[in-house]
Structure 1
Amino acid sequence: MGETGRRAAVLGAPIAHSLSPVLHRAAYAAMGLDDWSYAAIECREEDLAGFLDGLGPEWAGLSLTMPLKRVALGLVDEVSDLAVKVGGVNTVVLRDGRRLGDNTDVHGIVTALTEAGVEVPGPGGAPPLVLGGGATAASALAALAALGAKEAVLAVRSPERAADAARVGERFGLAVRVTTLDRVAGRLSAGLVVSTLPGRAADAFAGPVAASGAALFDVVYAPWPTALAVAVEKAGGTVVGGFEMLLHQAVRQVALMTGREDVPVAAMRAAGEAELARRAA
């Protein structure tokens, strides 16, 4: 199928805040895909099946955000092993009348940490600590396993709500210990802290994380920097922000949807950073 008039979009609810259109459109422009378009479309869980059924041959792919990742597992014709193990599809490639489900969130985290030079502590070192127990925490555990971690600590408000994320880590060979956020706030020991907590929910951990000397990966990308990121940076620690994850998962999505590997990371980064600066002004 040719490249003329191809369509793609990000679906979710809410979706107006999404940075994905800026990133994907920047890629298309730099790749010379002038007839490709990328939209943001509000879509709830109960509407996804009907939306997929109504797609024509001009559609190349979809990016899925919350709350669609889990329900999409049962709505695609083929799904990658990674997406099955993580428990969520964030990418649907539409090819030859078939829906191919994949997950690029793990790739985004792995690439973000690798490019920043962050190493996962080996045996004998303090295991990585993940704050929060939702879908992003599950992807983080999968990424930590891919980077060589053998164990991890998952800190959540209610341990029973972390069961799904812990199981994901175990599917990737991680020994996952679940604890509560209040237990780790006072005394924290980790070589790497991954915060998947939304908004200002991680502010209380700024002091303990900074004092621990741990590297930080904070999935928040706006507003940025977070109090947690500022504290760690002031203490001389390595900080990786959520924009890096968002960027690299989008880079992988563009490659999957276009079938090309010459994805312009620099152009996508520049466009995303410019848009975030505009929103913050």
Structure 2
Amino acid sequence: MKHFAVIGNPIAHSLSPIMHQAAIQDLQLDAIYTRKKLSKESFDREIRDLLLSDLDGFNVTIPFKERILPYLDEVDSFAKKCGAVNTVVRRQNKWIGYNTDGRGFLEGLTEKRPLKDSDHVLIIGAGGASKGIYLALKEAYNGEVTVANRTLSKAEEMLEQRSKDRAITLTEAANKLSQFTIIIQTTAVGLNPENSDLPLALDLLSPGTLVSDIIYNPFETHFLQEAKKRGAITQNGLAMFVNQGALAFKLWTGENPNRAVMRQAVLDSFEEE
């Protein structure tokens, strides 16, 4: 039996096991998918033990997407550019890291509407997920991407001196919000539904702007609720979650899972809460 998992901390909230088990069952594979919480303080020891276990592959979530890199035998070129890994595959007793976040997000975004080179894209945040999204965007279109982050130097570092793109502060982004046709929220702001904070003010948001938040649980963040009130087209992180999971699943098994089955499993889990 194949054994796959997701590692992170916290991890109890992750719906990856529900989604992947649905895909496994649909394809009638002899496999299981579990959660594994690793300690932030003892990560070095625990990840070594994990890599010596019977796992055949695993997903990596917050806060280990960057910390995992030194422990892998190989890292795919796209993941290396991202500086973050979210999918690890065992092949011929070697552990190989990939990043399916960015391409999974892009597939979901273009399901909502096609990208045009005339689009002006704003990415809020400069963490591991945003780097993958940024690089996937740059592969797909020739338009301008602006990255806004609380720490400006981190946003500047992410752009790698690409002359067309810009790094700005969150305050500057809020003041120029009407210029953007696509806004992508990649920070953890919104994970707690009790917290009504926004990553930046939406007062100048133009109606018709496509506003995406990579968070899928809660299903609609306060950020998306406020954007919708201002006439935006909104998209939560479910499409990215399903698509990146499907890309990871194929890397582990060689099989293309049914994404509709995966998506429905996640939606059903929300209804059960």
Candidates 119, 127, 140, aligned match of 2:133: 140
1:219 deviates by: 1.0
Query: Do the aligned residues in 2 keep the contact of 1:205 with 1:228 (CA within 8 Å)?
Result: no
The secondary structure found in structure 1 opposite 2:106 is helix
The residue type paired with residue 148 of structure 2 is A
Q: Given the superposition, is the C-alpha separation of residues 178 and 267 from structure 1 closer, same or farther in structure 2, using an over 3 Å criterion?
A: same
2:176 match = 187
2:258 match = 264
CA distance in 1, matches of 2:9, 2:163: 32
Across the aligned residues of Structure 1 and Structure 2, the Cα RMSD in angstroms comes to: 2.1
Give aligned pairs, total.
263
The alignment's TM-score, normalised by the length of structure 2, stands at 0.88
What per-residue deviation string (whole Å, max 9, x for no partner) do you get for residues 94-121 of structure 1? 122111211110121111011112424x
What per-residue deviation string (whole Å, max 9, x for no partner) do you get for residues 46-66 of structure 1? 24542344223xx32110112
The residue type paired with residue 259 of structure 2 is V
The secondary structure found in structure 2 opposite 1:70 is coil
CA distance in 2, matches of 1:151, 1:74: 33
CA distance in 2, matches of 1:36, 1:75: 25
2:120 match = 127
The residue type paired with residue 268 of structure 1 is M
1:36 deviates by: 0.8
The alignment's TM-score, normalised by the length of structure 1, stands at 0.86
Query: Do the aligned residues in 1 keep the contact of 2:103 with 2:133 (CA within 8 Å)?
Result: no
1:204 deviates by: 4.6
* Same amino acid, percent of matched pairs: 29
Unmatched 5+ residue regions in structure 2?
A: 191-195
Q: Given the superposition, is the C-alpha separation of residues 116 and 239 from structure 1 closer, same or farther in structure 2, using an over 3 Å criterion?
A: same
2:5 match = 9
Query: Do the aligned residues in 2 keep the contact of 1:145 with 1:174 (CA within 8 Å)?
Result: no
The residue type paired with residue 36 of structure 1 is A
* 1:1-281 equivalent positions in 2, closer than 5 A: 5-33=1-29, 35-43=30-38, 44=40, 45-56=43-54, 59-120=55-116, 122=117, 125=118, 127-167=120-160, 175-188=164-177, 189-197=179-187, 198-199=189-190, 200-202=196-198, 204-209=200-205, 211=206, 213-261=208-256, 263-279=257-273
Between stretches 190-199 and 126-135, larger displacement belongs to 126-135
1:126 deviates by: 5.5
